[in-house]
Structure 1
Amino acid sequence: MDVFYYALVGLLLAGYLALESVDFGIGMLMPFADTESGRVRMRRTVVPLFLANEVWLVAFAGLLFGALPLLEGELLYALRLPLLAVLGAWFLRDAALWFRTAHPGVGWRRTWDTVLPAASLVLAVGWGAVPAMLIRGLSTNGDGHAVAGPADLTHPFVLLCAVLAVAGSLRQGSLFAARGLPEGDALRVRFGRLTRVLTPILLVLLLLTAAAGAAVTDAPVAVGLVGVLAAAGVYGSDRVQATGRTGPALLLGAAPLAALPLMVGVANGTTVLATRSGKGSLELSRAIADSASLALLSVTVLPVLVAVVLGQLWIWRVFARAPR
């Protein structure tokens, strides 16, 4: 039961990153639309979906608090600076999507058109860096607590994962935004060109991430295999997209973002918060809630999670269709 809930927490985070990669990408690609009609169209592609996608993050945080309460406190302490940056960017990104149409002024719209790609970039970088630091293991302060220090934030592996998240999100955004544009449309041509450029770059980044991840962890084979499988997903996405099936291409293309939480699990096993020195690490047996709490979660939270998944499928089926 302990491993089940730990895996479920990771699955929710992976689902959030896989879905939100589309939103991150479209936000960063907003400058590609050089006309007002193009910017409006791009915004409309993501507005019906981003709140539904964020439900996965809310579910992740809620289950983390309920099933692994000690881990949540330790994570918030250890990662407070990068999480604060992610939280601020999250608020600004959502504000940009909502507030852009609240006032007709040109300056007002341009302001939010600048905030949206900047905040989306910070979100992609942050959600690439945070799992990478957990994969590698955090530093330890003088009090014996795990912390993310400057050396952790700027380590080459962490920076590589941040770039990987940005490239993966850009590719997802370009695929999703282009799907309903007419043949020959200038914006569709730009997105198609960007997708073709990003695909080999992303494959190289994934292989580098697999090699670097294998070098900085004690589970090199497992971490490397996850990276290689994610690269296979991107390659498959490219092959499927060539046949015109954007839906399956998006599903396979989400592999790079979804792979990062998976790498955390395979790298550290049942050590739910790892440090490089071993001091301040947190084992699953200590972090998990008591059996009574887990039993309550099983009869209350799990049915809700099933409903969330079914609702998500319905929302994407209805609102993610290519515009006519």
Structure 2
Amino acid sequence: MDVFWYALTGLLLAGYLALGSIDFGMGMLFSFARTERDRERARGAVVPLFLANEVWLVAVVGLLLGALPLLEGELLTVLRIPVVIVLCAWMLRDAALWFRTALPSGGWRRTWDVVLPVASLVLAVAWGTLLAALIRGLSTDGNGHAVAAFSDLAHPFSLACAAVVVVASLRQGVLFAARRLPEDDPDQVRLARLAGRLLWPLVGLVLLAAAVGVSGASVAVALVAVVAALATYASERLRTAGRPGAALLLGSAPLVALPAAVGVVNGTTVLATRSGEGALTLSEAVADSASLGLLAVLVLPALAAVAYGQVWMWRVFARQGARAR
């Protein structure tokens, strides 16, 4: 049962990255918008959905607090710098989406037009770096406690994973934007071309991340990377076959692969260190049986309701722009 709660936490995080990556990508695409109409159309595509996408991250934090309280405390302590960066970029990105049209001033809008893509880029880089450090294992200090050293965050594997999240998010944003446009729209053609150009760089980055990955678990990392690369290639085939929804779903594979790799590489060591000192196992981190029983009664029905609400919102809003045309 302990493994169930750990796996559910990872699944929720994977869901957040799959959905949130679209928001990251749309935010980064904002810098490529050529006219005010294009910028407002991009903003209008994201605004109805981004808060619903963020619910999954809130659920991750809540589940950590309830089911894995010791892990949450360790993560917030050890990874406090990347976590603070994520929170700041998250708030600035959301503020840019809300505040851009709050005043009619051109300078006001141009300011948020810079903040939005920069904050979206920082979010993508921070998530890739943070998850790579958890996959590879953290350093330990002189007292044998886990620490996130600069060498952990700036390791080639961390940088490669950050690049994967950036390019995968940008491609997801392109696929989402193209999905909302009619096939004869000039912007749809331009976006389709960009999605095709991003395919092989993304596949190459996924394989590069595996090549510079964890030496002691190279087979596990390689397996996850190959599956993610194949799913990305399949997503491009689905896009060219006129199935944008399926392409968007499979295109999230490189994002989902990162939290999956944490479990595949480290097993039930929920906070791994390369030396083994200061590591935290699942049996140490999980809450008591009474708390888990209460969570099962309260949380699981709530998650089912949230999942239903997410599906409903996507059915209503995700293709609204295309229908309007």
TM-score grouping bracket, smaller chain normalisation: over 0.9
Shift of 1:183: 4.3
For 1:221 and 1:289, locate their aligned partners in 2 and report how far apart those are by CA, in whole Å: 32
Q: Which residue of 2 aligns with 1:249?
A: 247
Using structure 1 for the length normalisation, give the TM-score: 0.97
Q: Deviations over 1:52-101 (max 9, x none)?
A: 00000000000011000000000011100011111100000000000001
For 1:243 and 1:126, locate their aligned partners in 2 and report how far apart those are by CA, in whole Å: 34
Are 1:179 and 1:322, in contact at CA under 8 Å, matched by a contact in 2?
no
For 2:49 and 2:296, locate their aligned partners in 1 and report how far apart those are by CA, in whole Å: 28
The residue type equivalent to 2:48 in the other structure is: P
3-state SS of 1:102 partner: coil
Determine whether 1:58 maps to 2:58. yes
Q: Which residue of 1 aligns with 2:303?
A: 305
Using structure 2 for the length normalisation, give the TM-score: 0.97
Superposed, 1:1-324 pairs within 5 Å as 1-183=1-183, 185-213=185-213, 216-323=214-321, 324=325
Are 2:78 and 2:146, in contact at CA under 8 Å, matched by a contact in 1?
yes
For 2:295 and 2:70, locate their aligned partners in 1 and report how far apart those are by CA, in whole Å: 16
Structure 2 runs not aligned, ≥5 long: none
Kindly tell me the number of residue pairs found equivalent between the two proteins: 322
Shift of 1:182: 4.0
Are 2:180 and 2:318, in contact at CA under 8 Å, matched by a contact in 1?
no
The residue type equivalent to 2:266 in the other structure is: N
Shift of 1:177: 0.8
Shift of 1:243: 1.2
Structure 1's consecutive aligned runs of 4 or more residues displaced over 6 angstroms after TM superposition are none
Are 1:33 and 1:187, in contact at CA under 8 Å, matched by a contact in 2?
no
The residue type equivalent to 2:63 in the other structure is: L
Aligned Cα RMSD in Å? 1.1
Shift of 1:34: 1.0
When structure 1 is superposed on structure 2, of 140-149 and 38-47 the one drifting more is: 140-149
For 2:180 and 2:58, locate their aligned partners in 1 and report how far apart those are by CA, in whole Å: 30
Shift of 1:141: 1.7
Are 1:223 and 1:263, in contact at CA under 8 Å, matched by a contact in 2?
yes
Shift of 1:196: 1.2
For 2:221 and 2:106, locate their aligned partners in 1 and report how far apart those are by CA, in whole Å: 48
3-state SS of 1:142 partner: coil
For 1:194 and 1:322, locate their aligned partners in 2 and report how far apart those are by CA, in whole Å: 22
Are 1:236 and 1:252, in contact at CA under 8 Å, matched by a contact in 2?
yes
Shift of 1:217: 4.7
Shift of 1:220: 2.5
The residue type equivalent to 1:248 in the other structure is: A
